[in-house]
């Protein structure tokens, strides 16, 4: 019987989602006769690993310190296979500025953007938006996931919202693309599939993702020409390879006027009841346990 250590929780703003992912994965593995232990990264992780001696570590952490290369650096010292992407790809994918620059370098369409440091005057921000973009704009932290602290801003609320994000020291200001929300799942070198989301809210934000009352509509049979669907699948795989990702990733796109815009790539997509990758996998004949087992088999000591 394989021994699986699941690391979940953590200290990021996505802690609760991570705990849910860990519980869902553990429940499914135990149901299929795996020996499973769940641990917080702060709960004397080194001692836990040495005592439990897992065959594989399932990294169920989300957000900062969990999918930005930090925990991956620690895990590599144990020489035990761990899931998802390694140190450098995780760090690149988590940093929205670096990843978007790579997208542009390799001719992947992404919304126009610039970064804003809080040592500048707000008047410079307005001037930069007027010259480089136009209102409305999207303001977001450079290294958060799950749409944490992402806002659509207009002229009236931009300063108030920017001031509320001062703790980040630097944020991204991005062109707002209306369009349709398309998400693509990649498994290794396999284009698993795509799903379209129709949120009742302004966009697919944190509440739309994780609040069951948000009533976001999931459309698994996307109304797109086959050529266009293949295009977005190929683009997601291209981004996955460019960054050097391993295992499973989910790429977030907007589709407007015949063009796809890649917003970001997620190296550790959620595995909760509302998560998209398990839903895409199920539609293409891959059960939840088959998905988890694939991720575990794909684990390695150096990513």
For the chain, give every domain's residue range.
Answer: 3-84, 113-175, 178-298
pLDDT at 164 over 90: no
Cis omega (within 30 of 0) for bond into 12? no
**3-84 in CATH: which number?**
3.40.50.20
Q: Which range, 137-146, 166-175, 290-299, is most confident?
A: 290-299
pLDDT beyond 60 at 67: yes
Whether the CB-CB separation of 266 and 145 falls below 8 Å is answered with: yes
Residue among 28, 71, 82 nearest 272 (CA): 28
- C-beta of residue 294 within 8 angstroms of C-beta of residue 187: yes
Query: Rounded to whole angstroms, how far apart are CA atoms 170 and 173?
Result: 10
Is 178-298 assigned to CATH 1.10.390.10? Answer: no
Task: Please tell me the predicted confidence (pLDDT) of residue 255.
Answer: 97
Interval 69-112: pLDDT, tens? 999 999 999 999 999 999 999 999 999 999 999 999 999 999 99
Active site residues: 14, 146, 210, 250, 252, 264, 266, 270
Q: What is the DSSP annotation of 139-169? A: EEESS--TTTT-EEE-TTTHHHHHHHTGGGS
Q: Determine the pLDDT at residue 204.
A: 46
Does residue 280 have a pLDDT over 80? yes
DSSP letter, residue 65:
T
Selection from 202, 200, 192, 196 nearest residue 183 by Cα = 196
Q: Which of 200-209, 235-244, 268-277 has the lowest mean pLDDT?
A: 200-209
Residues in CB range of 254: below 8 A, 6 or more apart: 111, 177, 178, 179, 180, 181, 182, 260, 261, 263
> Kind of pairing, strands 56-59 and 3-7?
parallel
Express as a percent the part of the chain with pLDDT over 90: 67
pLDDT of residue 300: 84
Report the pLDDT value the prediction gives residue 95, as an integer from 0 to 100.
93
Q: Which pLDDT does position 147 carry in this prediction?
A: 65
Model pLDDT, residue 272: 84
Residue 167: its pLDDT value, please? 82
Does the fold of domain 178-298 match that of domain 113-175? no
* 146 band by pLDDT with thresholds 50, 70 and 90: low
Band (pLDDT 50/70/90 cuts) for residue 175 is: very high
Looking at per-residue confidence, does 302 or 226 come out higher?
226
The full DSSP string for 185-242 is: EEETTEEEEEEEEE-SSSSS-HHHHH-GGG-PEEESS--S-HHHHHHHHHHHHHHHHH
Q: Give the pLDDT score at 212.
A: 56
pLDDT tens digits, one per residue of 14-24: 899 999 999 99
- The segment with the largest mean pLDDT, out of 45-59, 165-179, 196-210, is 45-59
Q: What proportion of the chain, given as a percentage, has pLDDT over 70?
A: 92
CATH number of 113-175: 3.30.1490.20
Instruction: Decide if pLDDT at 171 tops 50.
Output: yes
pLDDT at 270: 92
Which pLDDT does position 206 carry in this prediction? 46
Ramachandran sector of residue 107 (left: φ over 0; alpha: ψ -120 to 50; beta: rest): left
pTM to 2 decimals?
0.89
Rounded Cα distance between 277 and 56, Å, is 21
């Amino acid at each position: 019987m394989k021994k699986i250590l699941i690391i979940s929780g953590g200290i990021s703003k996505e802690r609760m989602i991570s705990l849910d992912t860990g519980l869902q994965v553990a429940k499914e593995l135990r149901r299929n006769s795996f020996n499973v232990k769940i641990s917080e990264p702060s709960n004397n992780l080194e001692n836990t690993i040495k005592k439990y001696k897992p065959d594989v570590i399932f990294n169920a952490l989300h957000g900062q310190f969990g999918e930005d290369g930090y925990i991956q650096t620690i895990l590599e010292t144990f020489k035990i296979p761990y899931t998802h992407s390694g140190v450098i790809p995780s760090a690149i994918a988590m940093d929205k500025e670096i990843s978007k620059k790579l997208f542009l370098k390799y001719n992947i369409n992404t919304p126009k953007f610039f970064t804003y440091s809080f040592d500048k005057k707000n008047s410079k921000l307005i001037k930069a938006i007027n010259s480089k973009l136009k209102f409305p704009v999207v303001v977001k932290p450079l290294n958060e996931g799950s749409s944490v602290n992402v806002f659509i801003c207009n002229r009236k609320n931009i300063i108030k919202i920017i001031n509320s994000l001062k703790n980040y020291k630097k944020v991204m200001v991005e062109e707002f693309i209306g369009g349709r929300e398309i998400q693509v799942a990649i498994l290794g070198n396999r284009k698993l599939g795509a799903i379209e989301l129709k949120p009742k809210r302004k966009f697919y934000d944190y509440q739309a993702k994780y609040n069951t009352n948000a009533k976001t509509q999931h459309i698994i049979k996307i109304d797109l020409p086959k050529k266009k669907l293949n295009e977005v699948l190929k683009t997601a795989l291209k981004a996955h390879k460019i960054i050097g990702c391993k295992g499973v990733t989910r790429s977030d796109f907007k589709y407007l006027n015949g063009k796809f815009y890649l917003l970001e790539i997620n190296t550790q997509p959620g595995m909760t009841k509302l998560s998209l990758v398990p839903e895409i996998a199920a539609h293409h004949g891959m059960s939840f346990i088959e998905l988890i087992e694939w991720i575990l088999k794909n684990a390695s000591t150096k990513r």
